[in-house]
Amino acid sequence: MESETRFEPREGNWRSSLSLAFAALVVGYVFYAVARPGTQSFLLWHAPVAIQVSEWLDSAPSFLHTFAFAILLSLAGGGDRRRRFATCLAWCAVEVAAEFGQLPSLARWVEIQAPNAMGLSIGRSLLAGTFSVADLAAVLIGAALATCCVCIGRRNKP
């Protein structure tokens, strides 16, 4: 019987990845609360007046959201390195599809094909957004960093 080499995340790495994911979610929440008040229904609190952020920070929520959820989903799914990698890749695909869903031509097509989609909270959020190449880049970078966080490990031979 051949011995199989497995890659498992180190205990410290798992904890630090989880901490990074939650920190990213908190920072993203604060970003929306102070820079885009009133734009998201999930906010429990928001600043009375939006604080202006520089243009290069405008894609921070896309990066933070992708980074955090890719880590959380891959840790929840567990498994070997390939499975964690596939989970991060799958979440990246969801985020990329959501970003392309914000293209004006695609949004109009969805409105025509599924008029009830605008009645759904996710439909309003998706179709009300604006496609941005910077957001797309932020999604790809967030997924790549999340993959690095959850796929770095040590070799264990059973």
- What is the number of structural domains in the chain? 1
The per-residue pLDDT for 40 is: 59
Show Cβ contacts of residue 37 under 8 Å, excluding neighbours closer than 6 positions: 43, 46, 47, 48, 49, 50
The per-residue pLDDT for 140 is: 97
What are the phi and psi torsion angles at 6 (to 5°)?
A: -120, 150
Single-letter residue type at 151: C
Report pTM: 0.75
- The answer to whether position 84 is within a domain reads yes
The per-residue pLDDT for 89 is: 96
Does the CA dihedral 85-83-72-157 come out positive or negative?
A: negative
The per-residue pLDDT for 123 is: 56
- The answer to whether position 127 is within a domain reads yes
The per-residue pLDDT for 34 is: 75
Range of the structural domain that residue 130 is part of:
9-152
- The answer to whether position 67 is within a domain reads yes
d(CA 65, CA 81): 22
User: From the first residue on, what is the mean pLDDT of each consecutive set of 10 residues in the chain (158 residues)?
Assistant: 47 75 88 69 61 75 92 88 93 92 78 65 62 93 93 59
- The answer to whether position 47 is within a domain reads yes
Query: Reduced to 3 states, what is the DSSP secondary structure of residue 2?
Result: coil
Single-letter residue type at 15: R
- The answer to whether position 158 is within a domain reads no
d(CA 78, CA 74): 6
Matching residue, tokens 């941005």? 132
The per-residue pLDDT for 2 is: 44
